[in-house]
Chain A
């Protein structure tokens, strides 16, 4: 069974630009969650999607948005990039039944904002 894949793996952007990250969950998984990991703040929840609907949202500004497609693939977008957005962005998938089973994480996308 293929694992969670994230593209691209590395990205360098300039302040003010926007970026889109992609996540393909494990086949059959309907829930996709996104996390931001930084040395200072650690792992922070961004949002969760289930069946194309946002099920939960973390405490991030509106510049961070996401969506999920009918095949459960998900994208997250960050507009008007700031230096502080430099981080490892991790995507996780799970069956999404509502009982928190283990989430399977992808390798992450390392975003650097200059």
Chain B
């Protein structure tokens, strides 16, 4: 069964601190996709990154970086030099493309508050 666990419910940091959001997943498939989404107070989910199970290369995009480790079934997200605008709820999600379906299984989310 698919499952995504985000153990950190809430994190509070001061601006310019680095912060890492943890994501652990469970799946029986060898082919799967992992995602991170951001949900600002406005409510609309914003796509951040997609990673497939065959690509363990870490990725950096500006202040954002992602660490994918299949050995520990983790896909962690780090924000460097956090800013107030990073305050949002962040969701990790898993998709197994069975039968062509693009169903996403989400973690419970981590609420990040960046204080000035």
> Residues on A close to B: CB < 8 A?
31, 33, 35, 42-45, 48, 50, 55-56, 58, 88, 90, 92, 94, 96, 98-108
Measured between beta carbons, the chain B residues less than 8 angstroms from A106 are 44
7 A-B contact pairs sorted by A residue (CB < 8 Å): A43-B109, A48-B103, A56-B101, A88-B43, A96-B102, A99-B33, A108-B43
Give chain A nearest CB distance to B36 CB in angstroms: 10
Alpha-carbon distance A105/B91, docked complex (angstroms)? 13
How many A-B contacts at CB < 8 Å in the complex?
68
Measured between beta carbons, the chain B residues less than 8 angstroms from A101 are 50, 102
Asked if residues A100 and B99 are in contact (CB atoms below 8 Å), the reply is: no
New contact pairs (9) apart from A45-B105, A48-B103, CB-CB < 8 Å: A33-B102, A33-B103, A50-B100, A56-B99, A56-B101, A100-B35, A101-B50, A101-B102, A105-B46
B104 within 8 A of A: yes
Give chain B nearest CB distance to A25 CB in angstroms: 13
- Within B27-62, which residues are at the interface with A (CB < 8 Å)? 33, 35, 37, 42-47, 50
Nearest residue, chain B, Cβ from A107: B44
Asked if residues A55 and B101 are in contact (CB atoms below 8 Å), the reply is: yes
B95 within 8 A of A: yes
Alpha-carbon distance A88/B109, docked complex (angstroms)? 15
Alpha-carbon distance A108/B42, docked complex (angstroms)? 10
